Structures are given as structure tokens and as C-alpha cells.
Amino acid sequence: MTAFTTARLTIFPWEPVLDDAEARHLLETRLHTLLTPAVLEHLPPGFGPETGPQGMTNWISTRREKAQVSLINRDSDLIGLLFLFSPEGDNQCHLGYLLRADSWGQGYASELVQGLTTHLQHGPPQSLHAGVATDNPASARVLLKAGFKEDTSVAKDGIRSFRYATNNDARSEP
């Protein structure tokens, strides 16, 4: 994933930050304030970092192996993470994101996802999938506003499924 910007946000891959020891240390410190219980509440069990001195280092290594991760900054301040990944046994690209709790309710999630879908229109045809816990209607609204369609044929316990296809993707319907 390449970097993109929106009116208030700058989104860029975390790889260069992870490869710079000083920048990585600062990122690890910031991630501790981002990955709070409130932020992790609607994410899969075990998604957060382990406790202990190597917890965040291990969390970063796991995310680095399994996903393309981008940092979401507002005025050079880390407010969230964007994940593009393919779960094991699934060749489809899935979207995930999280925002710092003090950034909720300010339109950043909608701005992020709409910015991503606009950015993807300039690349090859593709589709994105996203799952949202049924007790998280705000995230479902974010996806719908950005052009995702709910796929009611995919039933999972407590998870709503959504799909987005770029205009240049012939597979635009779920």
C-alpha cells in the first residue's frame, strides 16, 4: 500500500518507521497509548499485545508478518492504524482499522475509509472485505458511507460482513 492523504489525515506504511531504531522505539511507546482496552473491545480476542517487556515488540512482529499496516496521523500525531490482510486460508483482501479513543466521534473513521476507497480507484481492480461486530453499529455506518455493501449471505456469529469493489473491478456485486 502506498501513502495517501485526506483533508485531515496522513496515512503511510509503517515499514520505514519499524526499520529505524529510534523511530520504532517512539512508535512502540505511542502504541501503548493507542491499544487500550476500549480500542480493542470490538476486535478479535487476543488481538492486543501481550503484557511484559517484549509484548509490544512481539505484537508488531506478528502484525508485520500478517498484514500491510499503515499509520494514521493527524498533525504528526498517531491516532490509529490501518490493516490490509488476508486471513489464513482466504485469498481475499480484508480491511481493518482502529483509532485512538479520544479520536472517536470526530469523523476520522469515515474520512479514513473514504480516503482509502478513493486511493484504491487509482490502482488495479480489487475488492475489500470487512467484518464488523454486530454490537459496533458505528463501524458498519462508516463502511456503508464509503460505498461498502453488506453481504448478508455470509453469516458468522456476531459479525456482519461487508464488501467493497473498486469501480474497475468487474466483481462489484457481493
* Nine cell digits for residue 64: 508485520
Model confidence over 10-37: pLDDT tens digits?
999 999 999 999 999 999 999 999 999 9
Q: Which segments of 35-73 does DSSP mark as H helices, in order?
A: 37-40, 55-66
Task: Report pLDDT for 173.
Answer: 46
pLDDT band for 79, please (50, 70, 90 cuts). Answer: very high
Residue tagged 480500542 (cell numbers): 39
Model confidence over 161-174: pLDDT tens digits?
999 998 754 444 44
* Nine cell digits for residue 78: 498517531
pTM of the model: 0.90
Residue ranges and CATH numbers for the domains of the chain are 4-165 (3.40.630.30)
Reference 72, options 42, 95, 93, 51; nearest CA is 95
Task: Report pLDDT for 23.
Answer: 96
Model confidence over 54-78: pLDDT tens digits?
999 999 999 999 999 999 999 999 9
Average pLDDT rounded to a whole number, residues 154-160: 81
Burial class (CB in 10 A: 0-12, 13-18, 19+), 97: buried
Sheet holding 149-150, edge to edge: 4-5, 10-13, 67-74, 77-85, 93-99, 127-133, 159-165, 149-150
Model confidence over 99-147: pLDDT tens digits?
999 999 999 999 999 999 999 888 888 889 999 988 889 999 999 999 9
The angle formed by the CA atoms of residues 109, 23 and 76, to the nearest 5 degrees, is 40
